[in-house]
């Protein structure tokens, strides 16, 4: 699995790097590239492989698994702090790889849901600075939170179909959000009660997508 993952990412990086550097030069954002023993494809591979592992934190994954068991596969391993620095430069390529190479269209059965991504404890909202201008308060079935929402659609085989990240106060039934999120989806889309909306159902049905949700007690009356 690790080898096939690296090959897919490495093929992408070889094609992407030329356009990425050209875009940086065009927009005047190019900076001196500090040489590293790990190439971009190796960094991205470890970032993705972490989510396929049993570790809950990336630090444990890197120190207890990568550094101890994957040195033969990654001979240029760096310290944990240096690797974290390299991860920042891999975010944009990783997002492009996800959207260009890993999302699959769905024309049968798909499932939609969202999850909260809290950036701090509710008691520290007023002192939080990192995401102050873009994070918002939102509410899920688990209660209030401060941060973002990750919206996902997967098909019946578990493949990612669409991904969107929004501030925490964006409703799951937001028409603009759902129009973009379901752009590559046809057939039936199953969601929980958070997606019950007459306007949303009509909008999706008119373009060939049948939204199926569980009715609430109030909806049956």
Residue 34 confidence (pLDDT) above 70 = no
Do 113 and 95 share a domain, yes or no?
no
What distances in angstroms separate CA 121 from CA 111, 117, 136, 167, 210, one per listed residue?
30, 11, 13, 16, 38
Residue 165 confidence (pLDDT) above 50 = yes
Residue 157 confidence (pLDDT) above 70 = yes
What's residue 130's pLDDT?
A: 87
- Looking up tokens 């050209």, which residue turns up? 22
Give the total number of structural domains in the chain: 2
Do 162 and 117 share a domain, yes or no?
yes
Do 60 and 126 share a domain, yes or no?
no
Do 31 and 126 share a domain, yes or no?
no
Predicted confidence band at 221 (pLDDT cuts at 50, 70, 90)? Answer: very low
Q: Kindly report the pTM of this predicted structure.
A: 0.73
Do 41 and 75 share a domain, yes or no?
yes
How far apart (Å, rounded) are the C-alpha atoms in residues 92 and 69? Answer: 28
pLDDT above 70 covers a percentage of the chain that reads 90
Average pLDDT over residues 31-36: 58
What's residue 105's pLDDT?
A: 80
Q: What is the CATH number of the domain that holds 151?
A: 3.30.420
Do 151 and 203 share a domain, yes or no?
yes
Residue 216 confidence (pLDDT) above 70 = no
Average pLDDT over residues 59-82: 94
Judged by DSSP in three states, 156 sits in coil
Do 97 and 171 share a domain, yes or no?
no
Domain edge (last residue) among 41, 73, 102:
102
Domain edge (last residue) among 102, 118, 147:
102
Nearest to 168 by CA among 118, 124, 132: 118
Do 91 and 114 share a domain, yes or no?
no
What does the block give as tokens for 193?
A: 């009660």
Domain edge (last residue) among 102, 119, 139:
102
Average pLDDT over residues 120-142: 90
pLDDT digits (tens, 9 = 90+) for 106-125: 888 999 999 999 999 999 99
Do 190 and 125 share a domain, yes or no?
yes
Do 167 and 96 share a domain, yes or no?
no
Range of the domain at 26: 2-102
Do 113 and 213 share a domain, yes or no?
yes
Predicted confidence band at 218 (pLDDT cuts at 50, 70, 90)? Answer: very low
How far apart (Å, rounded) are the C-alpha atoms in residues 187 and 156? Answer: 12
């Amino acid at each position: 699995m690790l080898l096939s993952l690296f090959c897919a990412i490495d093929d992408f990086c070889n094609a992407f790097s030329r356009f990425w550097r050209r875009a940086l030069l065009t927009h005047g954002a190019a900076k001196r590239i500090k040489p590293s023993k790990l190439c971009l494809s190796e960094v991205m591979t470890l970032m993705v492989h972490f989510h396929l592992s049993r570790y809950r934190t990336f630090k444990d994954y890197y120190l207890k698994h990568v550094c101890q068991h994957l040195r033969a596969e990654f001979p240029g391993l760096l310290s944990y702090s240096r690797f974290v620095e390299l991860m920042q430069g891999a975010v944009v390529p990783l997002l492009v790889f996800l959207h260009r190479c890993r999302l699959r269209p769905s024309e049968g059965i798909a499932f939609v849901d969202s999850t909260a991504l809290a950036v701090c404890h509710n008691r520290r909202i007023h002192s939080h600075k990192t995401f102050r201008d873009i994070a918002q308060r939102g509410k899920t079935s688990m209660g209030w939170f401060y941060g973002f929402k990750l919206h996902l659609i997967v098909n019946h085989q578990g493949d990612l179909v669409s991904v969107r990240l929004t501030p925490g106060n964006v409703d799951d039934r937001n028409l603009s959000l759902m129009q973009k999120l379901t752009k590559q989806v046809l057939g039936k889309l199953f969601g929980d009660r958070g997606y019950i909306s007459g306007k949303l159902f009509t909008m999706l049905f008119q373009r060939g997508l049948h939204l199926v949700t569980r009715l609430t007690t109030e909806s049956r009356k």
